[in-house]
Amino acid sequence: MLFLSAEIAAFENADRRYSAAITRLAPETDVRIVTYTNPSVHRFDLFVPVFRNHLVELSAEFPDRTILLNTSSGTPAMQAALVAINVFGIPRTTAVQVSTPARALSKPGDRESPDAYDLELMWDANDDNQPGAPNRCFEATSAALGALLERANLKQLIVSYDYSAAVTIAADSRLPDQVSNLIRGAMHRSRLEHLVAPKFFKDTAFTYDPANKVAEYISALALLAKREQWAEFARSATPAITIVLRAAVAKHLPEDRYLDDMGRVDRRKLEREPEIRCALKHPPKSPNAEWYLYTKDWLALLRQFAPDRVGALEVLGRFESRVRNTAAHEIVSISEDRITKDGGLLPEQLLKILARETGADLTLYDRLNDEIIRQIDMAPLG
């Protein structure tokens, strides 16, 4: 049985390169192909039930046969899932690893180009077809192998910023507590769990100041862009922009002159502030309604009290109003291109402006990932 991702299945559909090679090697083989269309090929937890269902069916169909699992092919998540199934023994399987022809790590250029695959040429040039060629397959029984494969999958999850899934995998990867805690800290931090996250970063290079929640919010907003969660990015940009504009106004106009303790406009204070009252031209229709300020209001106050700052920040107002309207009122797919077209800014440009105003670290999670992966690679297997 060939289990192929959508990307690899496209090559098989084009020239039958995989099934044809198997048929040439063993003509009597019944080649069955399963195409996995889910794009989350880095998710170990998704593969386990899928693989197990197919293997249980094969075991029932061929009860007296040994099922061999190729743990050297596929994504790290696929490999880890097969090793896990083999370890638990339901159904009974034998894990097989295949060494490279050089009995060493593959180097750039060792593999053929997937877009220019010539089965005839590859078959004729394959030293494994020569008489007396050594068998490069061996049964994988080492517990260390399973740990290595799980760690490879774990690193892929980290690179994908999927910290929730990584926390689950880390529990079974025989890693030191220091590494597991850093992964767990990344998960809580990315969720903006300010009461929980700081303890995981004590005495590390990744300073966590719960008082600077705005900077943490902008760093988490950058994470949504890295994950390409554009709809969530569009929705989350609005409060970030509002916070930045309000903070910019506060540097030139003390809030206690016109706001109450809840951040609402205080009409009694406003009666004594004609200049502020003149800038705020859009009060609620009802004189008794609570009066909150929005993007256009903060920009109006900036024009009145800090005109030199408007030019640098007005672009935020345009972005917020246009992108917010698209996300809230139109049934459309929110993509990076759509955000850029509607907002007039690339997401990267927006983030740089927000980071400049708040001191947020847009590289935080990349640096954190580098450190987590470094510690995973250094961790002993025992």
Do 128 and 235 belong to one domain?
Answer: no
- Please measure the distance between the N-terminal and C-terminal CA atoms of the chain and give it in whole angstroms: 34
Residue 202 in any domain: the answer is no
* Entry pTM: 0.63
Q: How far is residue 292's CA from residue 361's CA, in Å, rounded to a whole number?
A: 30
Do 227 and 307 belong to one domain?
Answer: yes
Q: How many domains does the chain have?
A: 2
Do 243 and 348 belong to one domain?
Answer: yes
Please tell me the predicted confidence (pLDDT) of residue 146: 66
Token pair for 254: 């003390």
Q: How far is residue 69's CA from residue 86's CA, in Å, rounded to a whole number?
A: 8
Please tell me the predicted confidence (pLDDT) of residue 199: 94
Do 137 and 226 belong to one domain?
Answer: no
Percent of the chain with pLDDT over 70: 93
Instruction: Report the candidate in 149, 136, 119 with the shortest Cα–Cα distance to residue 17.
Output: 119
| Phi and psi torsions of 96, nearest 5° | -125, 135
Residue 204 DSSP symbol: S
Do 138 and 48 belong to one domain?
Answer: yes
Report the pLDDT averaged over residues 318-330. 73
Please tell me the predicted confidence (pLDDT) of residue 167: 94
Report the pLDDT averaged over residues 89-111. 74
Please tell me the predicted confidence (pLDDT) of residue 33: 94
Question: pLDDT confidence of 376, banded at 50, 70, 90?
Answer: very high
Weakest-pLDDT range from 12-26, 203-217, 329-343, 354-368: 329-343
Model confidence at 328: pLDDT above 60: no
Do 270 and 135 belong to one domain?
Answer: no
Please tell me the predicted confidence (pLDDT) of residue 288: 81
Please tell me the predicted confidence (pLDDT) of residue 325: 64
Q: How far is residue 4's CA from residue 24's CA, in Å, rounded to a whole number?
A: 19
Residue 11 in any domain: the answer is no
Q: Give 3-state DSSP helix, strand, coil % of the chain, rounded to 5.
A: 60, 5, 35
Residue 174 in any domain: the answer is no
Nearest-5° Cα angle at 328, 342 to 348? 40
The residue range of the domain holding 293 is 214-364
Please tell me the predicted confidence (pLDDT) of residue 188: 97
Q: How far is residue 213's CA from residue 79's CA, in Å, rounded to a whole number?
A: 40
Question: pLDDT confidence of 106, banded at 50, 70, 90?
Answer: low
Do 248 and 339 belong to one domain?
Answer: yes
Residue 315 in any domain: the answer is yes
Please tell me the predicted confidence (pLDDT) of residue 366: 97
Please tell me the predicted confidence (pLDDT) of residue 63: 92
Residue 178 in any domain: the answer is no
Residue 58 in any domain: the answer is yes
Per-residue pLDDT tens over the stretch 236-291: 999 999 999 999 999 999 999 999 999 899 989 988 999 998 898 888 888 888 89
Please tell me the predicted confidence (pLDDT) of residue 380: 86
Residue 28 in any domain: the answer is no
Please tell me the predicted confidence (pLDDT) of residue 9: 93
Do 223 and 354 belong to one domain?
Answer: yes
Question: pLDDT confidence of 332, banded at 50, 70, 90?
Answer: low
Per-residue pLDDT tens over the stretch 159-208: 999 999 999 888 777 899 999 999 999 999 999 999 999 999 998 999 88
Per-residue pLDDT tens over the stretch 118-141: 888 888 888 888 888 888 888 877
Residue 150 DSSP symbol: H
Q: Chain-wide mean pLDDT for the chain?
A: 88
- Residue 362 CA, chain-centre distance (Å), reads 15
Do 86 and 221 belong to one domain?
Answer: no
Percent of the chain with pLDDT over 90: 51
Do 93 and 223 belong to one domain?
Answer: no
Please tell me the predicted confidence (pLDDT) of residue 370: 97
Report the pLDDT averaged over residues 293-312. 90
Residue 52 in any domain: the answer is yes
